[in-house]
Amino acid sequence: MLTSLYRLLALAVATTTLALPVPAAAQDFPDRAIHLVVPYPPGGTADILARLLAQRLAERVGKPVVVDNRAGAGTAIGSKFVAQAAPDGYTLLMGTVSSHAMNPALNRGVGYDPLKDFTPISRVASVPFVVLENPSVPAKTMGELIALAKARPGQITYASAGAGTSNHLAGELLAKAANIQLLHVPYKGSAPALADLLGGQVNLMFDLQVTAKAQIQAGTVRALAVTGAHRSSLLPGLPTVAESGVQGFDVTAWFGIFGPAAMPVPVVDVLNRHLVAVLKSPEVRQQFAAQGAEIEWSSPEAFNIFVQSEYTKWGGLIQSKHLAAQ
């Protein structure tokens, strides 16, 4: 008798559970415009990729996706704005390796925690750097460059867009991984850094592959390797730094979509599903490739693990080198 009663109760609970409606937050989402914050000025890679993504995402969800540039403080202004927004899915961030792995480790006063204050939604893309060398340097491969740096500790110079930027930290990571000493020469932006590389005032530079390709084709620089884990589809003939003897070396300027912390899981799932569908589009892949970006979608869980690993990697390097924002 009791057994039969328990079975009836269990059946009733199961039936009720199956009949529960999809939460209104997900069922009706989105019912208004979504704002995609880019923590950089207009015109850069993050902005261009965000605008391409916003256009296609708007077509899928049937609501506007408005790109909102909030630049400044090394990505901190835009990132903090999103971290403090309502966690309803209507304010998102085009986060990057700088906003979530480098800047918070360099500057503890950024005003947000990159791991606790955001909901990772999906990876979007990555852009590897190319190790560029002035042709006057007597090293024609990455292996020869490392050997030269060991023979001349602290004499091989490399330019960057400024202290704490991704191409600065790429050089710091190479020096640590290859056990060599390089002399960092910071500039106020990538353009003057590249100009001095071309003029021979510095020996090396880590440059994003789109701008690097133009210089490589012009014959004004020597390309030694790409910094990603895999060879680049844009420059397939170049080996990776890892292939060249620095095992495990993997540095890219990566991009991903975040929301504020504590977003409802159903809303995160809706956004992830639409983002992945957009990123799988051959047309979007082609548009991203024109910017030197390789598409990399993911689940929210996988993206969360990736961000944690990147923060650990760059935070450890920054701490070991006693680096700080300038």
Q: What is the pLDDT of residues 61-118, one digit of tens each?
A: 999 999 999 999 989 999 999 999 999 999 999 999 999 999 999 998 999 999 999 9
264 and 308 belong to one structural domain: yes
- Residues making up the chain, counted from first to last: 326
Distance, in Å, from the CA atom of 185 to the CA atom of 116, rounded to the nearest integer, reads 34
Residue 235 in domain: no
8 confidence band (pLDDT: 50, 70, 90): very low
Two tokens, residue 321: 């080198």
Coil, strand or helix at 114: coil
> Smallest Cα–Cα separation from 253: which of 130, 163, 107, 111?
130
40 and 179 belong to one structural domain: no
- State the residue range of the domain holding 94: 34-126+252-320
259 and 111 belong to one structural domain: yes
| DSSP H helical ranges for 84-224 | 97, 103-106, 142-151, 166-178, 190-199, 209-218
222 and 132 belong to one structural domain: yes
194 and 266 belong to one structural domain: no
118 and 260 belong to one structural domain: yes
The answer to whether 100 and 311 are in contact (CB under 8 A) is: yes
> Smallest Cα–Cα separation from 271: which of 22, 58, 50?
58
Over the stretch 290-322, which tens digit does the pLDDT of each residue have? 999 999 999 999 999 999 999 999 999 999 988
